[in-house]
Amino acid sequence: MNVFGVDIGGSGIKGAPVDLERGDLAEERHKVLTPHPATPDAVADGVAEVVKHFDWSGPVGITFPGVVTHGVTRTAANVDKGWIDTDAAQLLSERLGGAPVTLLNDADAAGIAEMTFGAGRGRTGTVMMLTFGTGIGSAVFMEGRLLPNTELGHLELHGRDAETHASTKAKEDEDLGWHHWARRVEKYLAHVEMLFSPELFIIGGGVSRKADKFLPLIEGIRAEIVPAELQNNAGIVGAAMASKAD
Protein backbone atom coordinates (compact mmCIF):
# COMPACT_ATOMS: atom_id res chain seq x y z
CA MET A 1 0.00 0.00 0.00
CA ASN A 2 1.29 3.45 -0.92
CA VAL A 3 0.85 6.49 1.33
CA PHE A 4 2.17 9.99 0.67
CA GLY A 5 4.88 11.59 2.79
CA VAL A 6 6.27 15.14 2.74
CA ASP A 7 9.37 16.33 4.59
CA ILE A 8 9.55 20.08 5.28
CA GLY A 9 13.15 21.17 5.83
CA GLY A 10 14.95 24.43 6.29
CA SER A 11 16.28 24.34 2.73
CA GLY A 12 13.89 22.06 0.82
CA ILE A 13 10.40 20.54 0.80
CA LYS A 14 10.46 17.04 -0.61
CA GLY A 15 7.89 14.29 -0.93
CA ALA A 16 6.83 11.10 -2.66
CA PRO A 17 4.44 8.18 -2.41
CA VAL A 18 5.87 5.57 -0.02
CA ASP A 19 5.56 1.79 -0.21
CA LEU A 20 4.92 0.94 3.44
CA GLU A 21 5.60 -2.76 2.93
CA ARG A 22 9.16 -2.07 1.78
CA GLY A 23 9.70 1.13 3.75
CA ASP A 24 10.97 2.91 0.65
CA LEU A 25 9.83 5.48 -1.86
CA ALA A 26 7.44 4.13 -4.47
CA GLU A 27 8.52 6.84 -6.94
CA GLU A 28 11.44 9.23 -7.19
CA ARG A 29 10.89 12.09 -4.78
CA HIS A 30 10.06 15.61 -5.93
CA LYS A 31 11.68 18.59 -4.22
CA VAL A 32 11.09 22.34 -4.20
CA LEU A 33 13.13 24.95 -2.38
CA THR A 34 11.82 26.11 0.99
CA PRO A 35 10.65 29.70 0.53
CA HIS A 36 12.32 32.52 2.43
CA PRO A 37 10.79 33.79 4.55
CA ALA A 38 9.34 30.37 5.32
CA THR A 39 5.91 31.61 6.39
CA PRO A 40 3.06 29.15 6.92
CA ASP A 41 1.26 30.22 3.73
CA ALA A 42 4.40 30.13 1.60
CA VAL A 43 5.47 26.72 2.88
CA ALA A 44 1.92 25.37 2.46
CA ASP A 45 2.11 26.44 -1.20
CA GLY A 46 5.36 24.48 -1.52
CA VAL A 47 3.80 21.38 0.05
CA ALA A 48 0.84 21.65 -2.32
CA GLU A 49 3.22 21.90 -5.28
CA VAL A 50 5.02 18.70 -4.23
CA VAL A 51 1.78 16.77 -3.73
CA LYS A 52 0.29 18.09 -7.00
CA HIS A 53 3.39 16.91 -8.88
CA PHE A 54 2.22 13.32 -8.29
CA ASP A 55 -1.48 14.09 -8.82
CA TRP A 56 -2.00 12.56 -5.39
CA SER A 57 -5.34 12.44 -3.59
CA GLY A 58 -5.81 10.98 -0.15
CA PRO A 59 -4.14 11.23 3.27
CA VAL A 60 -0.75 12.92 3.55
CA GLY A 61 1.84 12.69 6.32
CA ILE A 62 3.97 15.81 6.74
CA THR A 63 7.00 16.56 8.89
CA PHE A 64 7.83 19.93 10.46
CA PRO A 65 11.18 21.17 11.81
CA GLY A 66 9.93 21.97 15.31
CA VAL A 67 7.66 20.87 18.13
CA VAL A 68 4.24 19.62 17.00
CA THR A 69 1.39 18.79 19.38
CA HIS A 70 -2.02 17.71 18.05
CA GLY A 71 -1.32 19.30 14.67
CA VAL A 72 -0.28 22.66 16.16
CA THR A 73 3.30 23.87 15.59
CA ARG A 74 4.71 25.20 18.88
CA THR A 75 8.25 26.27 17.91
CA ALA A 76 9.93 27.66 14.79
CA ALA A 77 13.72 27.73 15.02
CA ASN A 78 14.62 27.52 11.32
CA VAL A 79 11.38 28.76 9.74
CA ASP A 80 9.31 31.92 10.10
CA LYS A 81 8.07 32.73 13.62
CA GLY A 82 4.55 32.90 12.21
CA TRP A 83 4.42 29.10 12.64
CA ILE A 84 4.33 29.39 16.42
CA ASP A 85 0.93 28.21 17.73
CA THR A 86 -0.44 27.76 14.20
CA ASP A 87 -2.92 24.95 13.54
CA ALA A 88 -0.63 23.77 10.78
CA ALA A 89 -2.41 20.47 10.15
CA GLN A 90 -5.63 22.34 9.38
CA LEU A 91 -3.84 24.92 7.23
CA LEU A 92 -2.08 22.23 5.20
CA SER A 93 -5.25 20.15 4.88
CA GLU A 94 -7.13 23.14 3.48
CA ARG A 95 -4.29 23.83 1.03
CA LEU A 96 -4.46 20.19 -0.10
CA GLY A 97 -8.16 20.35 -0.87
CA GLY A 98 -9.31 18.92 2.43
CA ALA A 99 -7.07 15.85 2.39
CA PRO A 100 -6.45 14.38 5.88
CA VAL A 101 -3.08 15.58 7.16
CA THR A 102 -0.94 14.04 9.91
CA LEU A 103 1.79 16.40 11.11
CA LEU A 104 4.77 15.45 13.26
CA ASN A 105 8.29 16.56 14.14
CA ASP A 106 10.74 15.91 11.31
CA ALA A 107 13.37 14.03 13.32
CA ASP A 108 10.66 11.97 15.03
CA ALA A 109 9.43 10.91 11.59
CA ALA A 110 12.94 9.99 10.47
CA GLY A 111 13.48 8.05 13.68
CA ILE A 112 10.24 6.10 13.29
CA ALA A 113 11.32 5.06 9.81
CA GLU A 114 14.83 4.06 10.91
CA MET A 115 13.53 2.08 13.89
CA THR A 116 11.14 0.14 11.64
CA PHE A 117 13.04 -0.28 8.39
CA GLY A 118 16.58 0.96 8.96
CA ALA A 119 19.52 1.10 11.34
CA GLY A 120 17.38 0.87 14.49
CA ARG A 121 15.41 -2.18 13.42
CA GLY A 122 15.29 -4.72 16.26
CA ARG A 123 17.31 -2.55 18.62
CA THR A 124 16.31 -2.23 22.27
CA GLY A 125 17.42 0.07 25.07
CA THR A 126 17.84 3.80 24.44
CA VAL A 127 18.36 4.71 20.79
CA MET A 128 18.84 8.28 19.55
CA MET A 129 18.31 9.43 15.98
CA LEU A 130 20.09 12.71 15.22
CA THR A 131 19.52 14.49 11.92
CA PHE A 132 22.13 17.00 10.76
CA GLY A 133 21.02 19.63 8.27
CA THR A 134 19.91 23.25 8.57
CA GLY A 135 19.67 22.46 12.29
CA ILE A 136 20.03 19.32 14.39
CA GLY A 137 16.92 17.24 14.98
CA SER A 138 16.54 14.45 17.50
CA ALA A 139 14.33 11.45 18.13
CA VAL A 140 14.67 9.43 21.34
CA PHE A 141 13.44 5.84 21.63
CA MET A 142 13.31 3.72 24.77
CA GLU A 143 12.61 0.05 24.12
CA GLY A 144 11.23 1.06 20.75
CA ARG A 145 8.86 3.72 22.12
CA LEU A 146 9.24 7.31 20.94
CA LEU A 147 9.56 10.26 23.30
CA PRO A 148 8.30 12.97 20.90
CA ASN A 149 9.51 16.52 20.33
CA THR A 150 12.84 16.30 22.15
CA GLU A 151 14.54 18.94 19.95
CA LEU A 152 18.00 18.26 21.39
CA GLY A 153 19.66 20.40 18.76
CA HIS A 154 18.80 23.30 21.03
CA LEU A 155 20.82 22.03 23.99
CA GLU A 156 23.28 24.68 25.09
CA LEU A 157 26.84 23.99 23.97
CA HIS A 158 29.60 26.57 24.33
CA GLY A 159 27.00 29.13 25.38
CA ARG A 160 24.72 28.77 22.36
CA ASP A 161 22.33 26.38 20.65
CA ALA A 162 24.30 23.26 19.73
CA GLU A 163 22.92 23.29 16.18
CA THR A 164 24.52 26.68 15.48
CA HIS A 165 27.87 25.03 16.23
CA ALA A 166 27.57 21.51 14.84
CA SER A 167 24.86 21.40 12.15
CA THR A 168 25.62 20.79 8.49
CA LYS A 169 24.65 24.43 7.87
CA ALA A 170 27.35 25.53 10.33
CA LYS A 171 29.86 23.39 8.43
CA GLU A 172 28.88 25.01 5.14
CA ASP A 173 28.57 28.57 6.45
CA GLU A 174 31.99 28.43 8.09
CA ASP A 175 33.57 26.35 5.31
CA LEU A 176 34.76 23.72 7.78
CA GLY A 177 36.70 20.65 6.67
CA TRP A 178 35.56 17.19 7.68
CA HIS A 179 38.09 16.89 10.52
CA HIS A 180 37.17 20.23 12.06
CA TRP A 181 33.45 19.58 11.78
CA ALA A 182 33.82 16.02 13.13
CA ARG A 183 35.40 17.48 16.29
CA ARG A 184 32.32 19.67 16.76
CA VAL A 185 29.96 16.74 16.22
CA GLU A 186 32.04 14.69 18.65
CA LYS A 187 31.67 17.35 21.37
CA TYR A 188 27.93 17.50 20.75
CA LEU A 189 27.56 13.70 20.91
CA ALA A 190 29.61 13.61 24.11
CA HIS A 191 27.28 16.18 25.68
CA VAL A 192 24.16 14.26 24.64
CA GLU A 193 25.70 10.98 25.80
CA MET A 194 26.45 12.47 29.21
CA LEU A 195 22.78 13.41 29.60
CA PHE A 196 21.04 10.33 28.16
CA SER A 197 23.52 7.42 27.94
CA PRO A 198 22.10 5.94 24.73
CA GLU A 199 23.30 2.60 23.43
CA LEU A 200 23.05 3.67 19.79
CA PHE A 201 23.30 6.93 17.85
CA ILE A 202 21.81 6.89 14.35
CA ILE A 203 23.14 9.80 12.29
CA GLY A 204 20.73 11.03 9.62
CA GLY A 205 20.07 13.98 7.35
CA GLY A 206 21.60 14.58 3.94
CA VAL A 207 25.13 14.38 5.35
CA SER A 208 24.55 10.71 6.21
CA ARG A 209 25.31 9.96 2.55
CA LYS A 210 28.90 10.96 3.35
CA ALA A 211 29.14 9.18 6.71
CA ASP A 212 32.49 7.66 5.72
CA LYS A 213 33.96 11.19 5.60
CA PHE A 214 33.34 12.01 9.27
CA LEU A 215 32.06 9.12 11.42
CA PRO A 216 35.50 7.38 11.49
CA LEU A 217 36.95 10.65 12.83
CA ILE A 218 34.70 10.73 15.90
CA GLU A 219 36.37 9.33 19.03
CA GLY A 220 35.65 8.88 22.71
CA ILE A 221 31.93 8.08 22.40
CA ARG A 222 30.84 4.91 24.18
CA ALA A 223 27.62 4.42 22.26
CA GLU A 224 27.65 2.74 18.87
CA ILE A 225 27.37 5.30 16.05
CA VAL A 226 25.92 4.31 12.66
CA PRO A 227 24.60 6.20 9.63
CA ALA A 228 20.90 6.15 8.83
CA GLU A 229 20.12 3.46 6.29
CA LEU A 230 17.26 5.40 4.71
CA GLN A 231 19.51 8.47 4.62
CA ASN A 232 17.64 11.64 3.68
CA ASN A 233 14.46 9.77 2.69
CA ALA A 234 13.77 8.72 6.29
CA GLY A 235 11.58 11.75 7.00
CA ILE A 236 9.35 11.10 3.99
CA VAL A 237 8.96 7.43 4.92
CA GLY A 238 8.25 8.24 8.57
CA ALA A 239 5.67 10.87 7.62
CA ALA A 240 3.84 8.34 5.47
CA MET A 241 3.98 5.79 8.31
CA ALA A 242 2.46 8.32 10.72
CA SER A 243 -0.32 9.10 8.26
CA LYS A 244 -1.16 5.40 7.91
CA ALA A 245 -1.12 4.98 11.71
CA ASP A 246 -3.73 7.72 12.02
CATH code of the domain covering residue 95: 3.30.420.40
User: What is the pLDDT at residue 156?
Assistant: 95
| DSSP secondary structure code for residue 83 in this structure | G
Q: Output the CA torsion 149→151→152→153 (10° steps).
A: 160
- Does one domain contain both 85 and 129? no
Q: Taking a C-beta distance cutoff of 8 angstroms, is the pair 62, 103 a contact?
A: yes
User: What is the pLDDT at residue 245?
Assistant: 81
Q: Would you say residue 113 lies in a domain?
A: no
pLDDT one digit per residue (tens) for the chain, 246 residues: 799 999 999 899 999 999 999 999 999 999 999 999 999 999 999 999 999 999 999 999 999 999 999 999 999 988 999 999 999 999 999 999 999 999 999 999 999 999 999 999 999 999 999 999 999 999 999 999 999 999 999 999 989 999 999 999 999 999 999 999 999 999 999 999 999 999 999 999 989 999 999 999 999 999 999 999 999 899 999 999 999 888
Q: Would you say residue 114 lies in a domain?
A: no
- Does one domain contain both 173 and 95? no
Q: Where are the beta strands (DSSP E) in the chain?
A: 2-8, 12-19, 24-25, 30-33, 60-64, 68-69, 72-73, 86-87, 101-105, 126-132, 136-142, 145-147, 156-157, 160-161, 200-204, 224-227
**Whether the model pTM is above 0.75:** yes
Counted domains in the chain: 2
User: What is the pLDDT at residue 77?
Assistant: 86
Q: Would you say residue 197 lies in a domain?
A: yes
The residue segments making up the domain with residue 77 are 2-107+234-245
User: What is the pLDDT at residue 217?
Assistant: 98
